Amino acid sequence: MSWALRMVGQFAVIAALFAAVAWLSDRPAYRQIPEGSAEMMLTFVHGADRRGECRRLSPEEIAKLPPNMRRAQDCPRVRRPVYVELDLDGRNLYRASLPPTGIAGDGPSRVYQRFVLPAKTYDVDVRMRDTARSEGFDHQRHETVNVAPNQLFVIDYRAESGEFIFR
Amino acid sequence: MIGVIRTALRAGFELIERPFERLFSPALNPLAQLGALGFFFFWIVAVSGIYLFIFFDTGIERAYQSVEYLTHDHWFHAGVMRSFHRYASDLMVVMVAVHLLREFAYDHYRGVRWYSWFTGLPIIWLLYASGITGYWLVWDKLAQYVALVSSELLDWLPIFGEPIARNFISTGTLTSRFFSLMVFMHVAVPLFLLFIMWVHILRISRPKVNPPRALALMSLVALVGVAIWKPAISQGPAALATVPSPVGLDWFFLPLYPLTNIWGNGSVWAFLGAFSLMIALMPWLPPLRRAKPAEIDLEHCNGCTRCAEDCPYEAIRMVPRTDGMPFLTQAQVNPSLCVSCGICVGACPSSTPFRRTQDLRTGIDLPEFSLKELRERVVEAASGLVGDARVLVLACEHGGAAGRVEGTVVLPCVAMAPPSLIDFVLSRNLADGVAVAGCAESACYNRLGVMWTEQRFAGMRDPYLRARVPRERVATIWASALAVKKADAEIKAFAGRLAKLPPKPLRSPHAPSTASRSPAREPADLGDET
């Protein structure tokens, strides 16, 4: 094999490898949801009420505390779980009791759930319980929404206003 | 089980390597330059990345716009650089993956080589972290997908109080500072990667960190060609209110991302953990049996440094003299790094089988296979040779001739045989020719054994093969352990050539035997010259 021919062969092998790499760098395309479908996401971070009531400390108890740690009330740290339900067109899609986060169980509960759905109009009903009550719900929202193909429909909860946000 | 996989993989590599060696020559064979090509592509990524940073804007809207500007308005320099940046990163992944598989296939990861294997693991993690943070910066649909899936993966770990994936579901939650943070990550992680790459080669003598110029030049030209043929482009701006689907995935950096949808994040982490654990433990599954390390005999060491220079594992260093002899230094072996390949024995000028001492000793020797024993085995193997073309084979235990019995002495590495041993065999008429049969030329088990042997025979590296040794009676045969037929065929062909040669003249002034090829020759003398 002549020197030039050999060089051409070497270059051809390298170029073919590089071209294959370039091709695989964005192909074949990946479809994470089927065509004509959308995603609904239920996600929020919210701390429920604490498990117990705060207790007012007596003057003697306050006096026993170090001066820099004196406080009027003793509140339990552990929070209650947040209970949440999501219905679509009257059928339950998700329900869960979300435990508080943190080693001591004093952090907020959190949820991050994705649902792949056909793109169409839905009756969305979301409910949440974050207090000591055992029945009924503290927050809820019902709405009819049109979900477009490839739309990411997010259901969030805003603690400041105490309401669910649809976007 | 691991041995079966290793052998199968090795057979696969052999299928590709031989044609590559023929086309590229062993010196340019890309499969023997995978580590060096990995470094080469890293530098291309680094230089192109610095160039692209000049144009990049970290604003939440402007990040995408700035990448579009450099891709389309300045395609002839910045656009090409972007393609360089992406494709060289992908090629680095390919080089790392094939390098890992090849080192496994050729059993280059156990024993003292555990260190390079083990430090390769963080390189894989850091390489992926570098690439993934880079895709994030473009802030197109792929970036949005990468951001969402990456953060969901991280959220699965019990580290973050609030799901960080929530930052990528609406525009209001994302600020420009986030891109500043990602730029910092995309610079810091590759810098750390470079540091680990340096650590990776610390225990390797003469590591190949630059590919041969011809190979580098061809790679560069091919990269320019591919950058013009298929420029790297964005996939439309990120739109957080939509699902980025379909998306053109980089299958080199993101092959596990679709699996998060199929397996779930926990399973992907379990897979990554199991893979990492398996890679980390492989050097000890099972551990390599190690022969006793080389030992220095100070009486015969003049501190010439040749053993230290030839050791492929940085196992020998020169230290100040301790025995009062009039030399500045002496060799010192680090037992934890020595693989007992014997290359140092072949490099030592004291390693000459001509020595007449009863107990043949040299400056550095293997306790379990000494030079004296080597000489005895050579003489014994040669004594069984008959015919007109008696070939003594010095075979590497990792090469294709290792399984031969007749007239063969198997060594840990052919470079263990000092060139004077060839001279000894031919001048003593122990054989008509010597075949030195090592590993495949571009896959030397002990990295430098083939190269040192060739250079010593060519008179380019101490200790030289003396000029008086008839070169037509010496053959070097490079064949891997699986290429037994090739090794046998080349040995037979060498014997055929020997048979056609005129009778061998006796050159050694003190040789006891005659130059005739009589099968019933006298027993060889073991030494006479020093």
Query: Quick one: average pLDDT of B466-491?
Result: 94
Query: Quick one: average pLDDT of B352-380?
Result: 90
Whether pLDDT at B361 is above 70? yes
Q: For position B516, what pLDDT does the model report? A: 40
List chain B residues with CB under 8 Å of A29: 246-249
Top residue of B226, B260, B262 to mutate, by most chain A CBs within 10 Å, is B226
**ipTM of predicted assembly, 2 dp:** 0.89
Strands (E), B354-432: 364-365, 391-396, 408-411
What number of H helices and E strands is found in chain B? 16, 9
Among A13, A43, A152, the residue with its CB nearest the CB of B23 is A13
pLDDT digits (tens, 9 = 90+) for A16-34: 999 999 999 999 999 999 9
Residue A40: which pLDDT band, with cuts at 50, 70 and 90?
very high
Quick one: B33-284 is in which CATH superfamily? Answer: Cytochrome Bc1 Complex; Chain C (1.20.810.10)
Q: Is B224 at the interface with chain A, CB within 8 A?
A: no
Instruction: Return d(Cα A105, Cα A101) in angstroms, integer.
Output: 5
10 Å CB burial of residue B17 (0-12, 13-18, 19+) is buried
List chain B residues with CB under 8 Å of A19: 226, 229-230
Among B23, B222, B261, the residue with its CB nearest the CB of A32 is B261
Residue B503: which pLDDT band, with cuts at 50, 70 and 90?
confident
Q: B262 to chain A: nearest residue by CA?
A: A32
Provide the mean pLDDT of chain A. 94
Q: A100 to chain B: nearest residue by CA?
A: B161
List chain A residues with CB under 8 Å of B222: 11, 14-15, 18
DSSP three-state, residue B171? helix
Tell me the CATH class for A33-51+80-166.
mainly beta
Instruction: Return d(Cα B293, Cα B271) in angstroms, integer.
Output: 38
Query: Quick one: average pLDDT of B462-483?
Result: 94
DSSP B369: B
Selected residues 87-126 of chain A with any CB under 8 Å from a CB in chain B: 101-102, 107-108, 110, 112
Q: Where are the domains of chain A?
A: 1-30, 33-51+80-166
Share of chain B above pLDDT 70, in %: 95
Q: Is B161 at the interface with chain A, CB within 8 A?
A: yes
pLDDT digits (tens, 9 = 90+) for B40-98: 999 999 999 999 999 999 888 899 999 999 999 999 999 999 999 999 999 999 999 99
The amino acid sitting at B231 is P
Q: Are B259 and B268 in contact (CB under 8 A)?
A: yes
Which ranges in chain B are annotated with CATH 1.20.810.10? 33-284
List chain B residues with CB under 8 Å of A101: 161
Q: B159 to chain A: nearest residue by CA?
A: A102
Whether pLDDT at B198 is above 70? yes
Cβ–Cβ of B90/A112 closer than 8 Å?
A: no
Provide the mean pLDDT of chain B. 92
Query: Quick one: average pLDDT of B298-320?
Result: 95
Among A10, A27, A151, the residue with its CB nearest the CB of B24 is A10
Selected residues 62-121 of chain B with any CB under 8 Å from a CB in chain A: 83, 86-87, 90-91, 94
Sheet holding A37-46, edge to edge: A109-118, A37-46, A152-158, A163-166
Query: Quick one: average pLDDT of B230-255?
Result: 95
In this structure, the number of other CB atoms found within 10 A of the CB of residue B147 comes to 24
Q: Structure tokens of A42?
A: 């239920």
Instruction: Return d(Cα B22, Cα B267) in angstroms, integer.
Output: 44
Q: How many CA atoms are closer than 13 Å to the CA of A41, on its beta-carbon side?
A: 23
For residue B326, whether the previous peptide bond is cis, meaning omega lies within 30 degrees of 0, is no
Q: For position A2, what pLDDT does the model report? A: 85
Cβ–Cβ of A15/B219 closer than 8 Å?
A: no
Among A18, A32, A107, the residue with its CB nearest the CB of B245 is A32
Q: For position B160, what pLDDT does the model report? A: 81
pLDDT digits (tens, 9 = 90+) for B381-402: 999 999 889 999 999 999 999 9
Cβ–Cβ of A31/B245 closer than 8 Å?
A: yes
The amino acid sitting at B459 is G
Residue B507: which pLDDT band, with cuts at 50, 70 and 90?
low
Distance between B91 CA and the closest CA of chain A, angstroms: 7
Residue B509: which pLDDT band, with cuts at 50, 70 and 90?
very low
Share of chain A above pLDDT 70, in %: 99
Q: For position B518, what pLDDT does the model report? A: 40
Cβ–Cβ of A30/B23 closer than 8 Å?
A: no
Place of tokens 């947040």: A82
Query: Quick one: average pLDDT of A99-117?
Result: 93
What pairing do the DSSP bridges indicate for beta strands A152-158 and A163-166? antiparallel
Cβ–Cβ of B241/A152 closer than 8 Å?
A: yes
Instruction: Return d(Cα B107, Cα B480) in angstroms, integer.
Output: 13
Q: How many CA atoms are closer than 13 Å to the CA of B306, on its beta-carbon side?
A: 24
10 Å CB burial of residue B317 (0-12, 13-18, 19+) is middle
Cβ–Cβ of B23/A19 closer than 8 Å?
A: no
Query: Quick one: average pLDDT of B269-282?
Result: 97
